[in-house]
Amino acid sequence: MDISSILQGGYAHPTSRKWQASRQLTKSMFMYPIFITDDANASTEIATLPGQRRWGINKLEGFLAPLVAKGLESVILFGVPFNCAKDGRGTPADDASGPVILAIKKLRSLFPKLYIACDVCLCEYTDHGHCGLLHGDGTINTPPSVERIAEVAVNYARAGADCVAPSDMMDGRIKAIKRGLMDAGLGNKCTLMSYSAKFASSLYGPFRDAAGSAPSFGDRKCYQLPPSARGLARRAIQRDAAEGADIIMVKPAMPYLDIISDAAQLTPDHPIACYQVSGEFAMVHAGGAAGVYDLKTMAFESVESMVRAGATLILTYFTPEFLDWL
């Protein structure tokens, strides 16, 4: 055999195998998505998301203190209100006594060093379940949507969020949010993480069950990206970077590794986030339960693929497990 044929000597040992990664997994790469509801004492299992619950603010300390002790550094909050009047403009989104703003303040006092991100969208708070404001014919009315999304983002930042992360996919919202943060004196304090390449995926089902945010009619295909659209994703990434995004996100993650890789090349000077969404998490669990693979091994393989593609930050429901595994 030729000298150039032999590679296996380079990865024969578990330690030399670790060196084959261009970047090692670390605990700080993981951001944990958390559902906050408006019953302060809630701890309600979510049937389609193994191990995940909807939490009331009185339960946050007991739930998160052990994770913070294990090295949890960041969370992203999703509000799930039940006792509120949803309307066309998502008024409850930034209610000062609503679950998200109360949770920001509570977490800030409980865990002063925890990085608190907030998803910013209207679908959990609109009576029609769409992510923006609508025209009479049911299509998105972009200017007031952007204005409202920016208002909500600024109110989360005012409440103490370290990061606002708009997932609505309205055109122009990054610029409007950045401007809003600057005008509020928070431009230097609050990160703007854009769900830049967010696809109209079938993998959001468990989340929509958990958050009660399924649209009451139609779908999200006129604002979330078509799954085939690599070019549009590249344009959205570049646009959002130009509009002032501090972090670029790709979502979902595993079926879109090429897009993560594109993002890492197009915006090499930004952190690149990806979201292993609810349906991906449920898939990994379902395969494990069906005996297709060992769950932990597959969970590692899934996040290694994202880091290999170029992700520096991973939003995943597996975060508590990785805090144990790493």
**What is the chain's Cα-based Rg?**
20
In angstroms, what is the minimal distance from the CB of 209 to ligand PBG? 10
Closest by Cα among 230, 232, 253 to 316: 253
What residue is closest to ligand PBG based on CB?
207
195 is in an annotated binding site: no
DSSP 213-275: ---SSS-STTTSBPTT-HHHHHHHHHHHHHHT-SEEEEESSGGGHHHHHHHHHHSTTS-EEEE
Q: What CA–CA distances, in Å, run from 184 to 132, 149, 166, 192, 286?
A: 23, 15, 18, 14, 45
- How far is 200 from 162, CA to CA, in rounded Å? 27
Sorted by sequence, the CB contacts under 8 Å of residue 138 that are 6+ apart come out as: 128, 217, 218
Stretch that binds Zn ion, among 124-132, 199-207, 240-248, 313-321 (CB under 5 A): 124-132
Could you tell me whether strands 272-276 and 30-37 are parallel, antiparallel, or unpaired per DSSP bridges? Answer: unpaired
118 is in an annotated binding site: no
* Binding flags for Zn ion, 102-121, as an x/- string (CB under 5 A): -------------------x
Supply 102's token pair: 């109360």
Active site residue 70: no
Closest CB to ligand PBG among 167 and 319?
167
Catalytic residue among 70, 198, 221, 296: 198
163 is in an annotated binding site: no
Say whether residue 278 binds ligand PBG (CB under 6 A): yes
Closest CB to ligand PBG among 205 and 288?
205
220 is in an annotated binding site: yes
Active site residue 18: no
- Compute how many residues bind Zn ion; rule: CB under 5 A: 3
- How far is 136 from 111, CA to CA, in rounded Å? 44
Say whether residue 274 binds Zn ion (CB under 5 A): no
Please report, as residue ranges, which positions from 231 to 270 form the binding site for ligand PBG (by CB under 6 A): none
Q: List residues near Zn ion by CB under 5 A.
A: 121, 123, 131
Residues found near ligand PBG in the complex (CB under 6 A): 119, 121, 123, 131, 167, 204, 207-208, 213, 277-278
Active site residues: 198, 251
